[in-house]
Amino acid sequence: MGGRGAGTRAGFFEPPVAPPTTDRLRIDPSWSAARLSGSIIRGVWPWIAAGSVLLIVHGIAGMLLPVVIGMLVDKVVAPSAAGVGFASVTGPLVWWGLALVGVYLVVNLSYRFGGRLGWFGVQRSQFELSQAVLSRVLDPRGMVGAARAPGGLLAVATGDVHRACLVLYVTVYPPGEIVGLLTAAVILFAIHPWLGLGVVVALPIVVVLMQLAAIPLRRRSIREQAGLADAAAVAADLVAGYRVIRGINAQATAAGRYRTVSREALRGTLAAQFARAGFDGISTATAQLFAAAVVVAAAILAFTGQLTIGQLVTVAGVAVSLIGPLDGLVGTLGTFWAISQASARRVLDLLSEPANPAGLGEHTGDTTQRVGTAEDLLRVDRLALPDGSLLNTTVSSGEFVVIDLPQAGQRLLTDVLSAQAVPVTGQVLLDGVAVEAWDPTTLRERVLAVPHTAGLFAGTVLENARATGDKPLDEAIARTALRVAALTETELPSGYDATRVGDGGRELSGGQRQRIALARAITADPDLLVLTDPTSSVDAVTEQHIAAALRTHRVGRTTIVLTSSPAFRAVADRLIAPYEGGEPS
């Protein structure tokens, strides 16, 4: 982390080390986008208010700068032309010199800290809104409908959340810009009423004209950028598949395809850049013409003796200083509001997704009563498998059973047993209660139906093996489980404790990942463990060791292995193979 440790303070208003524990953001998924925006602003109002006050001060000070320069010209420089000696201007020189120092100081500090406070507001609300979105996605009750692509969910949780929070910019910068423009009008009015009035009348017209010119261009630019394929990401994806591509000698095809993607991205980029160039050209010309018009008007007044030359200099300075706030105002108000509303809508859509019907149960069972004596721990009653056949079976407490099903059937059974799908026909009962009637978390505490994909998370091998529920499970049990899963310490680069993997665990081989996932399931030690092809990436000899060790380890608990592997069949109490020997039983 560079030269700065996490404990060093980098500057004022640096956030504390620990994340905040209080929630500031109130969200109701039924709200409109505008209402969510309002809530985002209210949630971080202290920072936003302080930030915009400082930026208002900045806006005023920025406009006073040309006034001070004009005064210096009038009181110090101009007398020289009249032949006055330098000694007689030292007084004004000191005073207006100090004023210039003061104005610079105010400009400097107000902008720095105003912007910083506003930025913290954006960060703070983004932090909370993103957590809210992820909490919804990770709700144990699940979401209705088919599984969503992770990329789409990620886009809402990060991109849309960020853009929804950009609404804060509308409250941070525009007040300072508006006050700055008003200050300019007051200064010009004080110099000559006609100049002030002229600016007050012309300014809104200029803003509206710039807005009108910007609308089609900006809309196009946003659209082009949204549709722009991320050429770098595609390149990385292709190169990551180097071995696959070279394995089938497809490097020319892949490079050719990338050229197509790259050219498409280029067209998109160029279209977006051209649109922006047009907008930049129009806004530059408009703003400078406006400044020129103000100077010309002031010059005419000066020629007729109604303005001093210092005042002319001030007017010229103010006219130039108008451009910044004007540009900012047009940009902020027009873009950020529209962008934030579209994203706030997408955030709300995700937050208001109904729960998965399989996760609505509330039965929590009687936790004090052990299941030991129950005759049928699990009863599968005419469960319709994806191919239309019906599965009927019972599993008693303490049994080690192998069920041989096709993949689609395996998935359906694990989904039903983990409260992620409701059987279309038939019933699955745990302790005589339909699985969908169980509270999903309670059900998953009793029944661990492990998905086939070995999902690992960032951390050490041991941490992964201990990961079930909110708190890490017992370390000794996890070590035993890793041995049951036949993953030896020597096989890992730095043993159980120090071999670290990233999310996905791609640093390890498929077989190693699979055995860690198996060890995690063994460590969890549920009443009913349901494994799906737990050793498909493990060699035949090791597979047999695992099957035998697992059988011994699970004595007294109930285990179902969904597999056709001979190793597990060999150790099972019972084989349920509805597809062997004709019709399913």
583 is an interface residue for other proteins by CB under 8 A: no
123 is an interface residue for other proteins by CB under 8 A: yes
- A 10 A CB-CB count for 281 gives 12
Binding range to other proteins, per CB under 8 A, among 174-182, 302-310, 327-335, 549-557: 302-310
153 is an interface residue for other proteins by CB under 8 A: yes
- Amino acid identity at 534: P
5 is an interface residue for other proteins by CB under 8 A: no
94 is an interface residue for other proteins by CB under 8 A: no
Footprint (CB under 8 A) of other proteins, residues 484-513? 493, 502-504, 507-511
Of 215 and 300, nearer to other proteins (C-beta) is 300
Checking DSSP bridges between strand 433-434 and strand 378-384, what pairing results, if any?
Answer: unpaired
Pick the binder of other proteins from 50, 53, 182, 238 (CB under 8 A).
238
552 is an interface residue for other proteins by CB under 8 A: no
Q: Under a CB-based contact definition with an 8 Å cutoff, are residues 199 and 188 in contact?
A: yes
- Amino acid identity at 529: L
Pick the binder of other proteins from 23, 38, 104, 432 (CB under 8 A).
104
239 is an interface residue for other proteins by CB under 8 A: yes
Of 249 and 368, nearer to other proteins (C-beta) is 249
Smallest distance from the beta carbon of 399 to other proteins, in angstroms?
A: 15
The rounded Cα 470 to chain-centroid distance in angstroms is 23
User: How far is it, in rounded angstroms, from Cα 514 to Cα 507?
Assistant: 13
Pick the binder of other proteins from 10, 366, 367, 373 (CB under 8 A).
10
Which residue is associated with the tokens 């020629």? 303
343 is an interface residue for other proteins by CB under 8 A: no
Smallest distance from the beta carbon of 140 to other proteins, in angstroms?
A: 6
Strand partners, 383: 391
The angle subtended at Cα 18 by Cα 17 and Cα 21, nearest 5°, is 150
Smallest distance from the beta carbon of 136 to other proteins, in angstroms?
A: 11
CA distances from 190 to 183, 185, 194, 195, 301 (A): 10, 9, 10, 9, 14
Pick the binder of other proteins from 393, 397, 410, 559 (CB under 8 A).
410
476 is an interface residue for other proteins by CB under 8 A: no
265 is an interface residue for other proteins by CB under 8 A: yes
376 is an interface residue for other proteins by CB under 8 A: no
- A 10 A CB-CB count for 115 gives 17
CB-neighbour burial class of residue 389 (10 A; exposed 0-12, middle 13-18, buried 19+):
middle
Of 341 and 357, nearer to other proteins (C-beta) is 357
The greatest distance separating any two alpha carbons of the chain, rounded to the nearest whole angstrom, comes to 118
407 is an interface residue for other proteins by CB under 8 A: yes
Of 62 and 174, nearer to other proteins (C-beta) is 62
Q: Nearest Cα to 409, choosing from 389, 435, 379, 382?
A: 389
Smallest distance from the beta carbon of 34 to other proteins, in angstroms?
A: 26
216 is an interface residue for other proteins by CB under 8 A: no
CA distances from 53 to 42, 112, 175, 334, 393 (A): 16, 12, 8, 22, 71
Pick the binder of other proteins from 31, 95, 119, 189 (CB under 8 A).
119
**Residue count, binding to other proteins (CB under 8 A):** 190
User: How far is it, in rounded angstroms, from Cα 140 to Cα 528?
Assistant: 19
25 is an interface residue for other proteins by CB under 8 A: no
Pick the binder of other proteins from 108, 425, 494, 552 (CB under 8 A).
108
295 is an interface residue for other proteins by CB under 8 A: yes
Return all residues near 448 (Cβ < 8 A) that are at least 6 apart: 468, 521, 524, 526, 528, 529, 530
Smallest distance from the beta carbon of 396 to other proteins, in angstroms?
A: 18
Pick the binder of other proteins from 171, 393, 397, 420 (CB under 8 A).
420
251 is an interface residue for other proteins by CB under 8 A: yes
Q: Under a CB-based contact definition with an 8 Å cutoff, are residues 66 and 314 in contact?
A: yes
474 is an interface residue for other proteins by CB under 8 A: no
Is 428 strand, coil or helix?
strand
Of 38 and 504, nearer to other proteins (C-beta) is 504
User: How far is it, in rounded angstroms, from Cα 395 to Cα 377?
Assistant: 6
50 is an interface residue for other proteins by CB under 8 A: no
